[in-house]
Each structure stands twice: as C-alpha cells, then as structure tokens.
Amino acid sequence: MYTGAMINLETKIEQLPKTGIKQAGKLRKLGIEKISDLIFHFPFRYDDYSQIENISKIYQGQATTIAGKIISANTSRTWKKRMAVTEILIRDGSGTIRAVWFNQPYLRDSLTAGKQIRLSGKVSSDANGLFFSNPAWEMAAREPTHTGRLVPVYPETEGLTSRWLRWQIQMVFKSGFQIADPVPAAITKKLNIPPLEKALKFIHFPKTKNEYLIARKRFAFEEMLLIQLKYLQIKSSWKNESSIKIKFDEKLIKNFVSSLPFQLTGAQKKSSWQILQDMGKPRPMNRLLNGDVGSGKTIVAALATLQTAENKYQTVIMAPTEILARQHFEEFCKLFANYNFKIALLTSSYKITNKNHDPNSKIKTAKPAKFSSLKNSEIENSLKIRKLKIENFNSHTNYKTIKREELLDNLQTGKFDILIGTHAVIQKDVRFKNLALIIVDEQHRFGVAQRAYLQQKTSEINDGIKNKAPHFLTMTATPIPRTLTMAFFGNLDISFLDEMPKNRKKIITKTVPSRDRTKIYEFVRAEIKKGRQAFVILPLIEESGAMAEVKAAVSEHKRLSEIIFPEFKVGLLHGRIKPKEKEKIMRDFQNKKCDILVSTSVVEVGIDIPNATVMLIEDADRFGLSQLHQFRGRVGRGKFQSYCFLFAEKSCQRLKILEKNSDGFKVAEKDLAIRGPGDFLGTRQSGLPDIAMENIANAKLIQISKEETRKLLASDPRLARYPLLRTALAKFEEKIHLE
C-alpha cells in the first residue's frame, strides 16, 4: 500500500500510484526509473495560462484560460469515422462558449452539467462561432496544475503526456519528501540563488516567470560548478605528475624556421613559444591548440616534435582517419627531410617508414641572435623567416614498407623518433623507448566519449620512462569561441591560432539562387579546363520521405557525370563507402585522377587538396555556419584563387555572414548566437546536461563557477567538508564525458 511517507529519492517509479509495469516501461524511455529521475525531468517550456479571461473578451487564435459553469454536455460519434466527440457549453458572468474534445469518450463521466471548471487552450472558430479545441481542463476548486497558471510542458514519449507527468510530480511534492542540497548554503546565499528543494518547486510549478528563470539559473550554476570541479581536479592531478623537461634549443628552432618557404604568423609564433616553454617544465604539458582551417597547426606541431626529437625523445602523433594520418606522415617527412629523423606510419592499412637521410645534409643558416638576451615578446617577434626552399621530396621513392613486428621492435628500441598513426598507435603491444610528447590532431572528430577514452588510453601508453608522463598537445580545426573553451576545456591550457598566413588568398564566397546554377556550372568547367578541381557537397546520401526535395549524393553524382560534366571524371564519396575504398577515392582526388568530387558531409576535415579551387554546397541553408566554413576550408589551400558557392532555394540572410567573413572565429561566434550552443556543438555529442548546454555561452556564469570552484578546492582539495557535493560530483561523472 502506497503512502507519501514512503517516498524518497531512491523509490522505484512503479511504486507511485497508478504507475504500474506498463507505465514504468514508458517512463524508462525518458530515462526515469526512480523518484530522483522524475523530479529532475525538467520542463522544456511553459504555456502561460496564468490570466483568466472573460469569455466575452476572447478572440480567435488567443491562448488563454477561462473559468465557469458547464450548462450542457454531450458526447456523440461522428458518422464516418465513428470518433467520439465530447462537447460542452460553459458560461461565466460575461458569456458562453463551446469546448470540444475528440476521441476522449471517458470525459462524459467527468464533464457534466452543473460543474464548475477551469480550462486553458487556444481559441478556434468555425461556422458556429468561437470554441476551444481539446483544451486542458480541471475542476475550478482544485489548485491550478494544468490550467490557470504557468503550465510546465515536459519532454514526452508515446503514451505519457505532460498532464500525467505534472500530476505525478505534484504528488511527489505533496508527499513532503526531503532532498539534501549539494551546493554549500554559503554559496547559494552569496549568489542569491534558491536552495535545491525550493529550486525544484520553482522549476516545475512556478508562480511567476522570474521563479523558473532563477531556478534554471541555479541549476545551470550547479552543473557548471560540477564541470569546473572536475576540470580543476584533472588539472591539479596533471600538475602533480612529473615529466621529462624538453630543453629549449634556440639555434635549432631559428634554423628550422629560417628554412621554411613561408613566414610564420604572429599567432603561430606565440602558440609555438607557449608550447615550447610548457615542454621545458618538469610537469606535463596539457594544451589545446585551437585554430581555424588553414591557420597552420601542423607547423606548430612540427616545432614541438623537432624540439623533442633533437633532445633524443620520441613523439607520437594521432589522427582520426588513415588518410589524415598518411597526410601528416608525408608532411612531416617533407618538413624533416634535412634531419636524420626516423619517422613511421602505423595504421591498419599502412606500416611504412621514411628512408634514412644523411645527417650532414642539414640546412646551414646564419647564427641566430641569443634568445636568452631577449624578452618573451621579443623572442616571439624575432622568429623572422629566410625563404629557403625545402628539398624536393618524392613520396614514392622515399618511403618503404615495413612489417608491423619490425616497426614495433624499432619503436621499442628507440630507432624511430616519430610515430604517426590512427587508433592503432594506442594498442597494447605498441611500446616506446622514451615517449615524451603525444599530439592528437582533429580532436573534435573523435567525439566526446571517445576523447575521454582517448586521453585515458594515451596516459596508459607504455612510454618506456618510469614515473614520467608525456607532454600532451591536442589540436582542433574547428574554431571554438572563447566562452565555450572556458567551459569545455577547463582542464587544458589553450593556444589560439586566430590569424591566417599573409600569403593565403581569401576564398570568394557567394550565395547563389537556383536560376544562376547554369552560370556556376560553366565557371566550374572553365576552372577544370585550367587544370583545377572542384568539390560538390550534399547533405544526404539518398532521397527520403521527409526531405524528398534534397538532392541525394548518389543521384547527383549520376546527373553531374552523365548530363552536366560528361567530359570530366566525377568521383563519389559518402558514409556508406568502406574506409579503404574511401581512402582510395580521396587519394585519387589528391593525385588529380578525378576532376570533381561529389560528397556528403563526410568529406575529411584537414584533407589538403591544393589544386581544388571550387566548392559547391547544395542546400547550404540546411547546414550551420561553422560547418559551411569547414567545408569552405577544403579549397583555398594552394596558390590559386578559390571560390565557394552556396546554393539555397530561398534567400537566407545568415548565409550572407559567410560572404562577408573569412575569420572562422567570427563565423563561430555568429553561428553560436544564431543556433545556440546545443546545435553549435551538438547536444548529444556534448555530453552535458541540457541546462548546462543552454547556459554554456554565459561567460559570466562560467567565470563565477570557476571562482567558487577555486575557492572550494583551495580550502578543501578532496571536498572532505562537503560530502554531498563530492557525492553529486561522482554521480555527475557517471552521466557525462568531459574533454
């Protein structure tokens, strides 16, 4: 037998009245198994039915509440569909109006003449005048729950309505259950936010808009506090680790930078300096390099790798796909062509290495100025460049295949300085002699859960050095606004590459209406005849009922290759193609065996096709601005002027932002403002609760949570005096994945 006194947070949901096995199964679809899950199942919106209106004053289309007496009630069935129709006539002191419910025959027993009721809904109209269609209702004597107030609307599932959820949640509150607040009372009082029990009542059944707003603010702060606690704990434990100090060699860095055929940007110099200084410390570096497409992350990573290799320690570089790993391998072989470094590539398909180089062939440069005599800012600015061409590098004659066993043996004995690969580099049998630097590229591509796993696995790498942790550098090509980096990467030091190379031509971007499609195709034809290449990006693989108007990549490939560009070779890439075949398609495109590549959004971020100068994006209005900017970054990577054409059926003002802005960070900030953080990052991929996601761009809230976190950990690093907060943190960690 159920009694209110039995309720506690651990009570199984089926123990609530009228919640049997069937209802419990439906609740589990919403992630609700216990009372605690139910009371933390928050509304996603509120219908404002708080004002009770006179019937004589209501109008069509109005969402409102009325209260009155039922003067007649009738339930009938339609002749054709045999659907039950319940109709009442309700009167207040000013007039009468009809209310109609469809297919709810049980209402005839509840809504009978003479009863005083309250109903809320939208006013409709037909030949007989104004009426309410399927309004919410309840007896006038009852405390307002479904009508006459700010009515909470919840995420639902089939067979479970917001009405039923409101009724159950209200019953839990009436049971007089108690819940302990994990946020210290001193903090809630200081910040003027409600304690937990009051915040729960405010968020489910607010009497005013201000009540639910302050409740959401409180829960946002709590979630941010837990996030920052976890981040700072990770950061603190990382600082307690010891690492190999990679000695900074001023002459080495000067000579290498002077040998490059281009100038480093100020952002590259600053980021490189930050990284090299971190690596010289006795604790492991844990830094994120956040840069725009084409901002030059590879060369910054190369400087860190060079410094490590010259100190006789090993580096491992990991990319999410084979083709990106191979590209890094080729690039690093070129960059270090004049250094006697042994470089290996390890993926499921590749086990290759570069051939030995004569150590005496290193480029000779003028003796650089002594860095020790300069200030930090002067050091950054002193990295001036002499434009010397790196020797020609033939990818076919300078690589050789090696057996996996031999590669692993050479790695463990220290014969390889640099290992580049995919997940294959963190397998159990991969052992190093003296690994001192781990670099993970395109980190965002791994997904949040994978990132947490990845950092854990890389920390478990057998690096061959006892009691020393490798330095850790992660890189992302998705520009992330600074407010988001504060929240999402609190355990990392961050370097921003927010400056593009001076010799990089701006990609000309235009939004194109369908009527001008033929002109664009002629432009593409002219570019290809010059020897250039083009991308065509589509959002779907094949037609579907809901998006029949969206061109499918498969059918578009057929149309382009057979009708529009029959004289050119047109390739096709989509998510259903197997990895090895996908690799071959991209490799063919890189090697100019294909003129046009039709692809869905799986086209690789980071893939370098210097000869590609045109990007066509179909149904561009279906993509976010940041994603469009990433696609645009597949062109403009060579010496030729490049173009991006955005096809959209309707005029779309937000696409104009891309026409005017080439800075990825500015595009990201505008995208964040338009779509919100959930869509910007992908709510499911973020790993964070909804309220945290809604407030994650709130820099002030993040800063306050950081300050309070620092104070808590400074006085009590293990949270021994805050057991409720420590327990909440443990539960929070179970539900989410942090970077």
In the predicted structure, residue 511 carries a pLDDT above the cut 60 = yes
Tokens at 607, concatenated: 């893939």
Residue 72, H or E segment: strand 63-77
523 vs 671: CA distance, rounded Å:
29
3-state secondary structure of 704: helix
More confident residue, 466 or 371: 466
Q: Give the least confident one: 87-96, 479-488, 688-697.
A: 688-697
In the predicted structure, residue 476 carries a pLDDT above the cut 90 = no
Of residues 653, 634, 654, 651, the one with CA closest to residue 642: 634
In the predicted structure, residue 111 carries a pLDDT above the cut 80 = yes
Q: What was the pLDDT predicted at 712?
A: 93
In the predicted structure, residue 454 carries a pLDDT above the cut 70 = no
In the predicted structure, residue 683 carries a pLDDT above the cut 90 = no
In the predicted structure, residue 560 carries a pLDDT above the cut 60 = yes
Q: What was the pLDDT predicted at 208?
A: 94
Structure confidence at residue 333 as a pLDDT band (50, 70, 90): very high
Q: Give the least confident one: 85-94, 342-351, 379-388, 493-502.
A: 379-388
Of residues 121, 114, 7, the one with CA closest to residue 70: 114
Strand blocks (E) in 78-186:
84-91, 96-102, 116-126, 129-133, 136-139, 150-153
Domain residues of the chain, as ranges? Answer: 51-148, 265-280+295-362+392-476, 508-661
Q: What was the pLDDT predicted at 540?
A: 59
Give every CB contact of residue 174 below 8 A, 6+ residues apart in sequence.
Answer: 4
Most confident range (mean pLDDT) of 17-21, 226-230, 453-457, 522-526 is 522-526
Answer for the pair 121, 136: CB distance below 8 angstroms, yes or no.
yes
174 vs 448: CA distance, rounded Å:
39
In the predicted structure, residue 392 carries a pLDDT above the cut 90 = no
508-661 and 51-148 share a CATH fold? no
Tokens at 506, concatenated: 């701006």
> 51-148 is classed in which CATH architecture?
Beta Barrel (2.40)
In the predicted structure, residue 369 carries a pLDDT above the cut 60 = no
In the predicted structure, residue 455 carries a pLDDT above the cut 60 = no
For 265-280+295-362+392-476, CATH gives 3.40.50.300
Q: Which residues pair with 560 in a beta bridge?
A: none
Q: What was the pLDDT predicted at 539?
A: 75
3-state secondary structure of 596: strand
In the predicted structure, residue 168 carries a pLDDT above the cut 80 = yes
Tokens at 551, concatenated: 């061109």
Q: What was the pLDDT predicted at 574?
A: 81
Q: What was the pLDDT predicted at 582?
A: 83
% pLDDT > 70, the chain: 84
Q: Is 687 left (phi over 0), alpha (psi -120 to 50) or beta?
A: left
Distance of CA 717 to the CA centre of its chain: 30
**Mean of pLDDT over the chain:** 83
Q: What is the four-CA torsion angle of 59, 65, 66, 71, rounded to 10 degrees?
A: 100
3-state secondary structure of 490: coil
> 508-661 is classed in which CATH architecture?
3-Layer(aba) Sandwich (3.40)
Mean pLDDT across the stretch 709-733? 91
In the predicted structure, residue 100 carries a pLDDT above the cut 90 = yes
Structure confidence at residue 174 as a pLDDT band (50, 70, 90): confident
